[in-house]
Structure 1
């Protein structure tokens, strides 16, 4: 474990934090204990003992703002022992050092240390990038977080670490000539159906209505779900679940009155299938071709697209 710059100051005074069954007495949790080995204004080191045998180390490094980093090394003694040692170290930081936040960084591929941190009550907060080295997961714990071994604490830690799938909602908007509206985008050369990425806590339908109002200046009536299309990773984009809704028909001249969000939308175009093949993303063309060929299944997977 390697300390990193802190993310913002803590605040308030010292309070006692709760970390499950860990006791404050002598930094001990059953047969496992922490024994101070060094201490200064810049560093607090501990030996980790199991049945009085030294098995590793834990270190706390304050940053002067009521928070600091925690590092650990327990070799091959596993996540459970490491998490118990970490809980003791975090408890000491909160109750004796007056910290209000403890954080650490773990290499993204170090599953043992990531599990240790999670079991100790450190929540996933994000990923920091490094040039020429593995990215690192930033984890942290606040003094007033629920106890790590409580139901509320467990759910909070689990939720923070679960994958978050990108969700996109797009709409099939047609004119009186059965052409489909495609958007010419500022950030990629291919055209695409109107819509966009759904925000956290937002439903796909609500997000689609919002996107069209923001980007095209129109209010649409949400129709039936046409299909849910899984998009594999493409270029710099991660994979995503794409909800495609029927938005009905409007007069072709309506585009003349649209108020385009010029930072993202360079133009809008009514396209038949031939025009779509010439300009649209591969996934959009494949979807429109499948739609013309017949009814789409409720769930489908788009093929891999060329780079």
Structure 2
């Protein structure tokens, strides 16, 4: 496969910043690049109907030129989410997703970038980094199932919604779900919890404005009833030990379904909250 070449386009204001990408005698398309004072290069291209692997090679050539010849330390681009070919080429050229630019009346755009010290896309490290950046990141939630000697379940009265819920919260990046539930109980209630084990995993389908998530429900040892609690005032308005009737009266629909499911099949390691969520999506 022949090397691709660049030809500067000396067209007035574009002189020195716009280039034609050629494969031998064939013109594949053009790209333009502007380097800011912070050495960030903003890149855009028009490769028409060019197909893979030429498309990725052309984008990689433009990025390499900005890094090696123009002295950029970061190359970024904005691509409409519906431009599948360009987004795929950018990923294969080593660009990673930085975020999403939302727009009114137009497709959202992805902000993608490649740094000068990122592994080259042709290496194993670069390929793994590309896959890791492109794979979906599913939200994980960890909650505690705490029961007292009478079998009542601990629910938190929340400041930001009417229904009560099991204590817990979202797992931070790089944090294990078990560590997350211990951290959340310490932050929300001021207790040092002891996790007995994983009770079940519950998949939550997309619902309302929320994406789907995986919920890890841990069996947590109850603490001494005399232990003083320090509630997190921005999130927790109170805690309640609830029997089944009070759970059905005050808990979230997902929590009611989860506890009912545990009563029916307490040993099931995996379940899905489809009945509640699919009916209200």
TM-score between the two structures when normalised by the length of structure 2 = 0.92
Alpha-carbon shift at residue 108 of structure 1 (Å): 1.8
Which residue among 271, 274, 285 is the counterpart of 2:245? 274
Structure 2: gaps spanning 5 or more residues: none
The answer on 1:211 being equivalent to 2:198 is no
Which whole-Å deviations, capped at 9, do the CAs of 1:53-103 have from their partners, x for residues lacking one? 223111112223211211111111124212211222122212221111100
Q: How many residues align structurally?
A: 277
| Alignment correspondent of 1:179 | 152
Q: Tell me which moved more, 60-69 or 190-199.
A: 60-69
Distance change >3 Å, CA 252–CA 178, structure 1 → 2? farther
User: Would you say the 8 A contact 2:74–2:113 is kept in 1?
Assistant: yes
2: distance between equivalents of 1:84 and 1:42?
23
Distance 2:171 2:206 in 1: 17
| Counterpart Cα distance in 1 of 2:112 and 2:16 | 20
Alignment correspondent of 1:16: none
Does 1:302 pair with 2:281?
no
The alpha-carbon deviation at position 31 of structure 1 amounts to: 4.7
Counterpart residue number, 2:200: 227
Q: CA deviation at 1:32?
A: 2.5
Whether 1:159 aligns to 2:129 is: no
Q: CA RMSD in A?
A: 1.9
> Which deviations, in whole Å up to 9, do the C-alpha atoms of 1:191-248 show, x marking residues without a partner?
1100110011111101100110011100111012111000111222211100111113
- In the alignment, structure 1 segments of 5+ residues that lack a partner are 1-28
CA distance in 2, matches of 1:71, 1:100: 17
Contact 2:8 2:15 (C-alpha < 8 Å) held by counterparts: no
